[in-house]
Amino acid sequence: MKPFLMLSMLVLIGVIVWLFKPVAPVSKPPPVSLDEPVQESVSVQEAVKESAPVQKPVQKIEVPQYEIPHAVRYRFTLKNTKNRLLKQAEFWTYAPVKQTATQKVMRITASHSHEILTDSLGNQVLHFVFSNIPPYTSKVITVTTELMLAKEVNTFEEKSQQWFLGEEAFVEISHPKIQAMAKRLKKKTELSTSRQIFNWVAGHIQYAGYIRENRGALYALTERRGDCTEYMYLFTALARVNEIPARGMGGYISSENGLLKSDEYHNWAEFYWEGKWFLADPQNKVFMDKQSNYIAMRIISEQSNLAQSHRFWYLGEGLSVRMN
């Protein structure tokens, strides 16, 4: 009986100890400070997004469009005017500029073998060499160029804009008279300034007919006269003073396929605005219009390492050349 009583007493004591065992306090979250940002939990999807590399938006590149097929042809007659054999003669002439905002050359063919010389501007020159031309004998050279022309002016990112902001021969931007006129014509925007310069040159310079020698911008401004070359140079100079890239162009106005003629050679200007080269032809009063009618044979710049001639040049004693 005594062992039973002792066992009962032990069980009773164990129950009493369990009932009166202290309970550990429940921990509370620390108070949130109003001065510190609350960190929210990040979901698995958000974590994946954060760890994934950031993809930059794809930049759309505008591809130049040339939709209008066009062909031009031009001829030259070379003649040995002496009564003796001409052992060697050389002849150079421009082909259309390789690519501009409105034209792209697809193919050049010629009646005689030649090499093509190029420069960093895209100018192209055909070089012919002839040997042993008999006395009083002529050779006719025919050049045919196939082009594609653009309906609209293409964006043409120009890495050499600085070339068309400085002073060059016949573009006397540092002369006080040029500076003063340019500041007088300056407007709020580059486009409105370009238009104002065009209107002034077109309205104040008198066409004097063909002038054989280049006279330049200062001559045109001072004398208020000149041919298409002076109109071109004056527009170019006034634009450059106003920090608008501008350049002179040489070529032909040719709205239809056909033969280019010597007396149709023409000079005009282009100015660079919002990534495009736009036409400015003050002599013909054409501004930012009909640009696909203009076939550029030459970008006029001292940056070119090709000879500075309007249409052609030659070498050979007694040799004469004319464009048919």
Confidence band of 310 (pLDDT split at 50, 70, 90): confident
Q: Are 296 and 97 in contact (CB under 8 A)?
A: yes
Length of the chain: 324
Q: Are 278 and 226 in contact (CB under 8 A)?
A: no
Q: CA 24, CA 30: separation in Å to the nearest integer?
A: 18
Q: Are 319 and 79 in contact (CB under 8 A)?
A: yes
Q: CA 148, CA 101: separation in Å to the nearest integer?
A: 11
Q: CA 27, CA 195: separation in Å to the nearest integer?
A: 79
| Partner residues linked to 288 by β-bridges | none
Burial of 323 (0-12, 13-18, 19+ CB in 10 A): middle
Percent of the chain with pLDDT over 70: 80
pLDDT of 34? 39
Helix (H) or strand (E) holding 11: helix 2-19
Residue 54 has pLDDT above 70, yes or no: no
Q: Are 108 and 143 in contact (CB under 8 A)?
A: yes
Angle at which helices 228-241 and 190-204 cross, to 10°: 150
Residue 261 has pLDDT above 80, yes or no: yes
Confidence band of 47 (pLDDT split at 50, 70, 90): very low
Using alpha carbons, select from 152, 151, 147 the residue that is nearest to residue 122.
147
Mean pLDDT of the chain: 87
More confident residue, 294 or 28: 294
Q: Are 260 and 73 in contact (CB under 8 A)?
A: yes
* Three-class DSSP labels, 54-109: CCCCCCCCCCCCCCEEEEEEEEEEEEECCCCCEEEEEEEEEECCCECCCEEEEEEE
Q: CA 229, CA 215: separation in Å to the nearest integer?
A: 8
Q: Which residue reads 């310079």 in tokens?
A: 205
Is the alpha carbon torsion for 295, 98, 169, 277 positive or negative?
Answer: positive
Measured in degrees and rounded to the nearest 5, phi and psi for residue 2 equal -65, -40
Residue 9 has pLDDT above 60, yes or no: no
Confidence band of 55 (pLDDT split at 50, 70, 90): low
Confidence band of 104 (pLDDT split at 50, 70, 90): very high
Residue 60 has pLDDT above 60, yes or no: no
pLDDT of 38? 41
5-14, 70-79, 87-96, 262-271: least confident range: 5-14
Average pLDDT rounded to a whole number, residues 143-151: 97
The pair of three-digit structure tokens given for residue 289, joined into one six-digit string: 């219009």
Give the residue extent of every domain in the chain: 68-150+309-323, 161-300
pLDDT of 16? 47
Cα 67 to Cα 150, 154, 294, distances in angstroms: 6, 11, 15
For 68-150+309-323, CATH number?
2.60.40.1530
| Partner residues linked to 252 by β-bridges | 265, 295
Q: 309: which DSSP letter?
A: -
Average pLDDT rounded to a whole number, residues 174-200: 98
Q: CA 219, CA 230: separation in Å to the nearest integer?
A: 8
Average pLDDT rounded to a whole number, residues 260-289: 96
Confidence band of 10 (pLDDT split at 50, 70, 90): low
pLDDT of 18? 46
Residue 51 has pLDDT above 70, yes or no: no
CATH number of 161-300, picked from 3.40.30.10, 3.10.620.30, 3.40.120.10, 3.30.70.20: 3.10.620.30
Q: Beta strand 115-118 with 124-133: parallel, antiparallel or unpaired?
A: antiparallel
Average pLDDT rounded to a whole number, residues 47-67: 63
For 72, how many CA atoms within 13 A lie in the half-sphere containing its CB?
26
Highest mean pLDDT: which range of 7-11, 17-21, 140-144: 140-144
30-34, 85-89, 111-115, 138-142: least confident range: 30-34
Residue 99 has pLDDT above 80, yes or no: yes
